[in-house]
Amino acid sequence: MARVLLADDNPTSRLTLQTVLEAGGYRVDSAASAAEAVGLLDRSEYELVLTELAMESPQAGLQVLAHARMKEYRPATALVTSWHAGPDGRLSQDAEMLIEPEDLPELLGKVATLIGSRASRRVARRMRG
């Protein structure tokens, strides 16, 4: 079972994504801040690190990804967000996150692809070295 670290300070987004990922067969650890995510990265290994961009600071998610990418085991990394374009085209953040049921297979497929491509690169590096 692949391990995923999910970092998002919005509890609704974090719990929704965690529930979807766990239903898809992933083992998920979640963090409500970049500092908490970095601590989890220092204690465990993950196949994928998903993080919101802006948490306690506008660039907190990038700090999480940078820390993850420094790990020797090199997990796959991606930014997630609950921001979306409203009817006027401007970005806004809702208090709730909605994942359409028909989008769930696509989301889980993208997660599997991220994990699979990173694992393939690791195997190729081991075979070369």
- Architecture in CATH of 3-83+97-128: 3-Layer(aba) Sandwich (3.40)
Helices (H), the chain: 11-23, 34-43, 60-69, 104-128
Q: What is the pTM of this model?
A: 0.75
CA dist 9 and 47 (Å) reads: 21
Q: What is the pLDDT of residues 47-91, one digit of tens each?
A: 999 998 888 888 888 999 999 999 998 888 888 876 555 566 555
pLDDT at position 96 is: 46
Residue 97 has pLDDT above 50, yes or no: no
Taking CB atoms within 8 Å and a gap of at least 24, the contacts of 115-121 are 115/2, 115/47, 115/48, 115/76, 117/76, 118/47, 118/48, 118/74, 118/75, 118/76, 119/47, 121/74
Q: What is the pLDDT of residues 12-23, one digit of tens each?
A: 888 888 998 898
Q: What is the pLDDT of residues 27-44, one digit of tens each?
A: 999 999 999 999 999 999
pLDDT at position 83 is: 58
pLDDT at position 119 is: 64
